[in-house]
Amino acid sequence: MKKFITLLALIIICNQSLFAQFFKYSNEFLNIGVGARGLGMSGAMVASTSDVTSAYWNPAGLALMDKKFDLGLMHSEYFAGIAKYDYAGVALPLQDKVKSRTLAFSLIRFGVDDIPNTLFLIEPDGSINYNNITSFSVADYAFLISYAQKLPIEGMRIGGNLKIVHRTAGDFAASWGMGIDAGLQYDKKKWKFGAVVKDITTTFNAWSYNFTAEEQAIFAQTNNLIPENSVELTAPQLIFGAGYEFSFSKNKISLLPEIDLDCTFDGQRNTLISGSFVSIDPKVGVEAGYKHIIYLRAGVGNFQHVTNIDSSRVLTVQPNMGVGIKLNSVSIDYALTNLGDLSGSLYSHVFSLRIAIDDKTKKN
């Protein structure tokens, strides 16, 4: 009986194993990306990122920040506005004169709000009481504390994140988790190289559930699993990146292509290179700039093999594009993506704002 809309949202969360193990798509909201610049380039940012959003893409890039502070904000909506994704971050240098160390704080939220709770829509006598409908939110939060510094080796930087993850489903379920990311960048003339290990220590999410006796009875009547407290583990993820910066017309025009290889080790995935030990998902992005003011961006990623209705298999990709403008200390970026929609009929608009304030004490 299709009585309860709520069960559709809860089953996703409650369908966890009752013991700790790796989940293939654990904390997947942390793989969406932050900043319209990176999303416009399909996430090919590991080697070239150098602003406040580096805390997400590669924390080593924070060491390149030469501002007094860098503030980043982003808002986007997916699935026709049903899901909302928000990001805020700030990066601060730890030294006034030699800006070789940087500390950053980032907050990410991905959630669906105002979900109807229809568990008690039908009274015990079988009558429908719409006054019993309430609403709740399903939301994922991540708080990142990031640190980066330059190394004595010229062109080399390292960085890391401490991740605190909190996920909620109304009053029914909640989890807390923690993990660590580590990143490295190296520049050689116009070449840029980068590597990131996400969840290097294996990120965990400890789930706890809180259902009343009445709610448990409804679950039992509808043949749904009543979940128990459990621990969800996220396997490490390794990303390599390489890019090259071209300059034309006396440095008025710049061109920065980059390719990243996203390697996962949590079982076989539907990626371009798929295996039981490692699956590799390539991402290619390019950014063209004019006088460091106007930028055009494009990228492709999410290579997948899709089976058609006639059983034939085709390779699909997800194209993204974007544009940006930088006026003094303010950067406004826009990206057009079709996250999770291979048909191309549903696109998402992403806007981000970045404010980078120069250090007034810096000598010209």
Q: Specify if 290 maps to a domain.
A: no
Would 278 be classed as within a structural domain? Answer: no
DSSP conformation class of 177: E
Statement: residue 114 has pLDDT above 70: yes
pLDDT digits (tens, 9 = 90+) for 245-257: 999 988 899 999 9
Indicate whether 199 belongs to any domain: yes
Is 272 contained in some domain? no
Residue 197 resides in a domain: yes
Highest mean pLDDT among 93-97, 263-267, 305-309, 346-350: 263-267
Q: Is residue 301 part of a domain?
A: no
Distance, in Å, from the CA atom of 40 to the CA atom of 261, rounded to the nearest integer, reads: 17
DSSP letters of 259-313?
EEEEEE-SS--SSSB--SS-EEEEEEEEEEEETTTEEEEEEEEEEEEEE-TTS-E
- The runs of H, that is alpha helices, within the chain are 6-14, 36-40, 54-57, 213-221
**Domain boundaries, position 41:** 6-238+334-357
**What is the reported pLDDT for 173?**
86
Residue 247 placed within a domain: no
**Exposed/middle/buried for residue 341 (C-beta within 10 Å: 0-12, 13-18, 19+):** middle
Number of domains in the chain: 1
CA pseudo-torsion sign 78, 335, 49, 73? negative
What are the tens digits of pLDDT across the range 48-91? 999 999 999 999 999 998 788 899 999 988 877 788 999 999 99
Residue with tokens 């890391």: 160
CA distance 105 to 143: 7
Cβ–Cβ < 8 Å for 108, 87: yes
CA distances 65 to 61, 89, 201, Å, are 8, 14, 27
Measured between alpha carbons, how far is 240 from 259 in angstroms, rounded to an integer?
8
pLDDT for 304 equals 85
Confidence of residue 2 (pLDDT cuts 50, 70, 90): very low
- pTM (predicted TM-score): 0.84
**Residue 249 counted as domain residue:** no
